[in-house]
Structures are given as C-alpha cells and as structure tokens.
Amino acid sequence: MANERVTVIDIAKAAGVSKSTVSLVLQGSPLVNEGTRTKVNAVMRDLGYVYNRGAANLRQSSAKSKIIGVVVNDLTNSFFAELAVGVDLVVQDAGFVQFLANTSESLDRQTEVIASMREHGISGLVVSPARGSRAIDFKALVSAGMPVVAVVRPVAGAKVSSLISDNHTGMFAAVEHLARLGHTRIAFFGGFEDTAIFQERLAGYRDGIAASGLVYDEGLVFACAPSRAEGAKAVVRAMAAVDQPTGGVCFNDAVAFGVYDGLRARRLEPGVDFAIVGFDDVIEAGTSVPALTTIAVDPQGMGRRAAQLLLKQINAGKAEAEAVVTPVRLVVRESCGVNKLKPGRRSA
Amino acid sequence: MANERVTVIDIAKAAGVSKSTVSLVLQGSPLVNEGTRTKVNAVMRDLGYVYNRGAANLRQSSAKSKIIGVVVNDLTNSFFAELAVGVDLVVQDAGFVQFLANTSESLDRQTEVIASMREHGISGLVVSPARGSRAIDFKALVSAGMPVVAVVRPVAGAKVSSLISDNHTGMFAAVEHLARLGHTRIAFFGGFEDTAIFQERLAGYRDGIAASGLVYDEGLVFACAPSRAEGAKAVVRAMAAVDQPTGGVCFNDAVAFGVYDGLRARRLEPGVDFAIVGFDDVIEAGTSVPALTTIAVDPQGMGRRAAQLLLKQINAGKAEAEAVVTPVRLVVRESCGVNKLKPGRRSA
DNA sequence: CTGTTAGCGCTTTCAA
DNA sequence: TTGAAAGCGCTAACAG
C-alpha cells in the first residue's frame, strides 16, 4: 500500500545525487557517469518510482506527449478493429500509446472525444470520420497545427492528410476481372458525379474498359446517390435497357448491396445472372452479401500506413496535409454472372 | 496557424479577471457570478483555449486523471473488440477517455504497455491478461493502489478484481439442454482438476445432472489439459468405453474443438453422432466450428460491467478486490447428437 | 559531470 | 465574490 508518490527528488535524496542528475538518467543522457547511473536506476527500482509524463510534458515544449489519438466510427466492425490493431502496432513500436475512441457514427460523440483527446495533449490523430463529418469539424485541430490523418473516408475541404483506397487501380482491376470472364457489357453503378472519388473510380472503370479492348459506353454509367436504395433503382434502370449489361462494378458496397436487392426484385440471381463487384468502403456494417466480388483493402495494413504517415508528420513538426493511397485487392467470390454470358466464353 | 498555447493567464488577461477566477469557471464553481462566467467562456471560445489536463492533474491529487487503460490480449478477435466497445461506452459517459492497447498475447508487450499507461497517469485499468500472466505481473500496480479489473481470464493470486463468466450457471444450463434433448449419458471433458474454475464448472455439471434426474457418474468426467490436442484424446478415451456417452460438455472452447477433432478421427460426425457444448472462453482466436453449441458471454455487456466495476473502485478511492461474475447464455446450434439418441426421445 | 534555479499551466489556500 | 501566492513533478539553462 505504498501510497505516497515517489518523485525524482525522493530518488535523488536516496541516491545521494541531485534532482537534475536523476532527470539526466531518466533521459538516458550520456553526461552522467556509469556508476551514478546504475545506482540511480537501482534506487528507482527499489522505491518503485514511476515516471510522470504529465509533469515532463508540462515543462517541455508540450508537443511531445507520446500519445496519439485514434477515433473510429465503428469499432464493432472488424474492419476498424483491425485498423486499430495496425495503428497500435506501429505506434507502440514508436514508444507512443494510443487513445482509442469509438464514435458509433455520432458526430457529437466525435466532437466530444476529439476535444477530450486534445485536452489530454495528444500529439496526433488518426480518424475514421463519422458519417457526415465536414471540414469544419477538424478546423480547430488543423489550425492548432495538430497532425491529423483521416482514413477510409476523406473529409472534403479539410486540410488534413488522408489515406484512402486506390480508387483507380481498384476499379481497373474489377473491370479487367469481369472482362476476362467474358463480359462485354459492364455497367458502372452509383456515386455522385461531382465528387473526386467518383471521378477517380470512373476513370479506373474507363481505363479498364479500354485496356480490355471493350468500348466505353456512357449509357452504361448509372450515377446515383451511393446508397443501397438508389443502387437498387439504378440496376432496375439498367436492366430495362434494350442492350442489357451482364455485370457491373459499383461505386461502393452500399450501392453493391442495392444492386443485389434490385436484381432479386427482378427475379434475377445475383452472381449468376449478373456479376457484381463492389468497392469496399465499409460503409455498411455487419452486412454480408454472398456471391459478391469486392475490391477490398487490408485494414491492418491501412492502420499501419496511417500510423506511419502520422508519425512522419509528428516528427516533421509541421502538419503538411498529404493524400496517400492504400493498395487494394480484388476478393473474388462466385459472382461471374455465367447465365448471361455467351456460351463458349464462360469461365470455369 | 495560431501556434502559441493559450493559457488561463491569457484568457484572464483578455477577460479582465484573475487566473483563479478563470480556474473557477473552468470547474463550474458556483462561486463566480453569472456575468463573469459568460464573459470568460466567450473569451475562451474566441481565443481557442484548450484545457490542459496534464497541468491540472499535476496540481491535483493526481488520482483523477480521467484516463483509464484497457489492455486486451487480442483485439483482432471480435470478442475483445466488442469488449473494448463496451468499456468505451461507459467510460466515455463518465467523462473518461480510454487508452487501448493490444498485447497479441505477449507478456512483454503487456508489461510495457501497462508501464507506459502508468506513466501517463491512468486512474484504473481493465485488462484481459495475456496468456501466462501471473500475479507478479500486477504486483506493482496493486501495491500502488491502482484499481484493476481483470476480465475473461482471472489471474490466480493477484489482488485484483475479476470479471469472469458464470461458470456454474453456464454448465448447468448446458447439461440441462442436453438432457432435455434426450441424452442420458453426458460426459464432461477437459480442465485441470486443481483449479477453481474447473471445480466451479464441474459443480455446475453435477448439479445439472442431478436437476435433470440423471445420475452422476465419475467415469464420465474426463479431466485433461484444456487444449485442443488433449480434448481430442479425451473424447477418444470416452468413446472407447463400453457404455459410451452420447454427448458432452467441454471445459472450454479449446477442448470443444479438440473433441470435434477426436470425433472426426473416429469417423463420427460431430453434432450428429455426438452432441458437443463448449464453454466459450475465447481462448482460440479465429477458430470456428459449426454444429457446436456454446455457452457464450456477451462481450460488450462484459465490457460495460468491467468498466462499471472499475469506475466504482476509482470513485470509492480504494482498490478493494472483488470477484464478479458475468451472465452467460446458451447459444444453441445443431449439436444435438440425434443419431445416438433412443428413438422417441429425439428432438425436433 | 553535478547542483541551483526557474518556470511549464493549473488549482488552491488565504486574504481582500 | 475575486486576487495573490505557492507549489504539483519535471526539465532546462547555467553555474560550479
């Protein structure tokens, strides 16, 4: 029940040296001779001394708290749990400790926890923004010079670094995959045309079409709100056309699920009558659709990258916003849409 | 790019009051008149003031850091992710923020992160100990008067609170379940006889047997190391007996998986030829066996309970170790062992 | 190489 | 009700 806090001064007294010598030892300074160092260390062990980082931070520039904040929108979703593990991994190795908070998609919660973290003196923040986050939500942080990296969901207009999926490569690979299976009419579903992400993904689609020797047809691009409901409507529209597509790539997972729904409503079997590839933005939690190929990202790897990016900024001292892209891979399931393919071009 | 830290003194100056008045406002003290309060608050907003908890803690008893530590052995396992969410929920509501660290079952990592958390002044710790944790690993913490609650895995001999599954009730329910399905010879597999947990679970088994009107037969208790390999051997032993059991309850999930393996090796179909109920200790990560009924705990609920328990201790000011039990529920899958049941007593 | 002396930003007596 | 002063545990100049 040793309750009184033991401080540098206690151990200085016990070791017969001065406060600052102890401090030097604490910081592993080479200016203290070996004998003193060992003695001091021994005393620290004996008295059960624990370093008070709060006090140290107070005295120092206060910029080096060795705490980084991690806020995710849904820790229940294993994607984000893995992401947190990835962050933790590199952050621990760098001698930092991480605050982890879960917002459950609540903007208020997010504001609260970020404020709280600031009060505790975090030296950087990795955040997977709650839905509906705006640049203004991070305004205070960035103008205070806090390094911030947004993952998974970029925040339009915010001067923070962001780490998002490789939109172009992902879509390109998806289209190539479908083309290789024999599809010649591949649609693009969902997304708001005025967003940067949409443009990137669409470009990947176009380039994939071209690279596969197919012709780009604007009539196969069905832009719509990136929601499940709109996705369902989009595919219905697509299937009403004279020259129906036999498969499609979707702006994100929500749209992909919508396309799935829309096909079922038309009595078509998703993945058999029509191939679907969804871009995995992890927007829908806990939803799982079989027979759906996705463009996926490795969450833990993304976490590691995010942490590295953040540490780089922290060490650089300045918060230069930077947009980085995380690799994606195609996770192929049974969704090749064989029924609609011309005989002879079907895949095994 | 407003970089200079703004402090109480700045806002005092700007508001035309003194440092301590500002401090009073910060703490919501009723000793400051309304006009002053609003003015001060306005100035704080204008200057973008952020409260420095580190400094505050330093001055205060230092016991009220508003940080609690959470260390789990495997955040990749969704059980622990959910647990962390549960903790976060109540901890956030109480105005705390949580440090979250993942040890990946590494004792060294665990020691490191706990030390780090102490240095940062956590006021309590929720820990799911890494495998092989001993009382000594928490000695320093408890003797420093730090409230600690161990979850999922109790640490023998450590003077920390623990929150574990309801061993007796769980086993009782499992046995009752099997008996209701018509089983009359129900085995008990796995566990070291000299541990408290084993005794509790065995007692639940015995009482369940009695409550179901069956007779307890010592020959049906197959104690062994709680590992997958030993579980496999145990069931082989059991099936070699003249009067074979038709189902069994297992000490934990590892043993249950072992039993599964053992049955397969004997060309028996688990869940059809033999009913298995496993006690879900979440010892095996990422393993999933179908057709296996389990005694499960709600991870998020457990997290909430753990946090509440911890907060209670923090508020009480003393670290009185307390053992609490978390409810369990039976998650029934297809493991009824129909093939071996007498006709007429089979379940639907 | 070691000791002295100031503070970091805040809270907290104690007076005014 | 508000102000002045002291000090939490530590580090950062400077002297010795």
Instruction: List the Cα angle A343/A345/A346 in 5-degree steps.
Output: 80
Chain B residues whose CB is inside 8 A of the A57 CB are: 54
Q: From A6, which residue of chain B is nearest by alpha-carbon distance?
A: B144
Q: Is the CB of B282 under 7 A from strand C?
A: no
- Residues of A (54-73) placing their beta carbon closer than 7 angstroms to any atom of strand C are 55, 58-59, 62
Question: What gap in Å lies between CA B168 and CA B176, rounded to an integer?
Answer: 12
Flag if B143 and A113 touch (Cβ within 8 Å). Answer: no
Chain B residues whose CB is inside 8 A of the A98 CB are: 99-101
Using pLDDT thresholds of 50, 70 and 90, give the confidence band for residue A224. very high
Flag if B62 and A145 touch (Cβ within 8 Å). Answer: no
Q: Is the CB of A347 under 7 A from strand C?
A: no
Length of chain B: 348
Residue-wise pLDDT for A278-317, tens only, equals: 988 765 544 556 667 888 888 999 999 999 999 999 988 7
Task: Examine the pLDDT at B346 and tell me if it is beyond 60.
Answer: no
**Measured CA B64 to C1' D8 distance, in angstroms:** 13
Using pLDDT thresholds of 50, 70 and 90, give the confidence band for residue A1. very low
Q: Please tell me what DSSP assigns to residue B74.
A: -
Question: What pTM value is reported for the model?
Answer: 0.84
Distance from CA of A86 to the nearest CA of B (A): 10
Q: What is the pLDDT of residue B161?
A: 94
**Measured CA A116 to C1' C11 distance, in angstroms:** 19
Chain B residues whose CB is inside 8 A of the A108 CB are: none
Residue-wise pLDDT for A126-157, tens only, equals: 999 998 899 999 999 998 889 999 998 889 89
For every residue of A259-300, DSSP letters joined together read: HHHHHHHTT--BTTTBEEEEE----SSS---SS-EEEE--HH
Residue-wise pLDDT for A7-57, tens only, equals: 998 899 888 888 889 999 988 888 888 888 898 999 999 998 999 998 998
Residue-wise pLDDT for A246-270, tens only, equals: 999 999 888 999 999 999 999 998 8
Q: What is the pLDDT of residue A27?
A: 86
Task: Give the nearest nucleotide to B19, CA to C1'.
Answer: D3
Cβ neighbours of residue B217 closer than 8 Å, sequence gap 6 or more: B185
Q: What is the pLDDT of residue B224?
A: 96
More confident residue, A303 or B27: A303
Q: Please tell me what DSSP assigns to residue B219.
A: G
Q: Please tell me what DSSP assigns to residue B314.
A: H
CA B305 vs. chain centroid, Å, equals 9
Backbone angles phi, psi at A191, to 5 degrees: 105, 150
Task: Name the residue closest to D6, CA to C1'.
Answer: B59
Nucleotides of strand D within 7 Å of the protein's CB atoms: 1-13
Task: Examine the pLDDT at A325 and tell me if it is beyond 90.
Answer: no
